[in-house]
Amino acid sequence: MSIIKDNYRITEGNHMLSTIQKAAENFCIHQIRVGHKVHGDISKKRTFIAYIDITTIDDKIFRVYIASDEAFMQRVSYLFLEEDKSDEETLIDMTLETANLIIGSAKVLSEADHKNSYTIATPHFEKIGEFDLVVDDIKTIAVEDDELIIAIKELHE
């Protein structure tokens, strides 16, 4: 079962996802400081899933999902809080913070390129579980055996 709504095509959402991917890769390089690989596969791991809605200057609304397995988010928790083993509530907070950091960085990158300027809403926690949401485009960033998922979906009113 494919969770990608359409065949891959160049759209505003795809361009935005590539900017978000760049921001997420920068996060891995400069914060996590471990090599990474990008692919389009989605594992069936238990993930922490957050989202942020973004509104473009032409009033299109996109939902950007940032999700990770527990091991990736534990890396983030150790990085920011120096906790070797965080509880679930802390990992949820770290998921929201990671979403905010990555989407905020992508906004700065987008504005620097004078493309797809947008505003950012408050991050929300979606769920803990398999990433089974219907999206327009999706990428996984693997850091060793840990995973960070970024995905985008245009919202239609």
15 closest CA partner among 156, 136, 147: 136
Q: Within 10 A of 130 (CB to CB), how many other CB atoms are there?
A: 14
User: Given this model, what pLDDT does residue 10 score?
Assistant: 37
pLDDT of 64 > 70? The answer is: yes
User: Given this model, what pLDDT does residue 21 score?
Assistant: 66
**CATH fold of the domain at 12-155:** Chemotaxis protein chec (3.40.1550)
Least confident range from 33-37, 45-49, 81-85, 147-151: namely 33-37
Domain boundaries, the chain: 12-155
pLDDT of 95 > 50? The answer is: yes
pLDDT tens digit string along 2-32?
344 443 333 444 557 677 767 776 666 557 6
Q: pTM of the predicted model, to two decimals?
A: 0.81
Query: Taking a C-beta distance cutoff of 8 angstroms, is the pair 16, 132 a contact?
Result: no
Distance CA 63, CA 49 (A): 12
Q: What is the mean pLDDT of residues 121-127?
A: 92
> CA 57 from chain center: how many Å?
21
146 closest CA partner among 60, 78, 57: 78
Percentage, residues of the chain above pLDDT 90: 16
Q: Within 10 A of 143 (CB to CB), how many other CB atoms are there?
A: 18
Bigger pLDDT: 121 vs 7: 121
Structure tokens, 54: 């973004």
Query: Taking a C-beta distance cutoff of 8 angstroms, is the pair 125, 49 a contact?
Result: yes
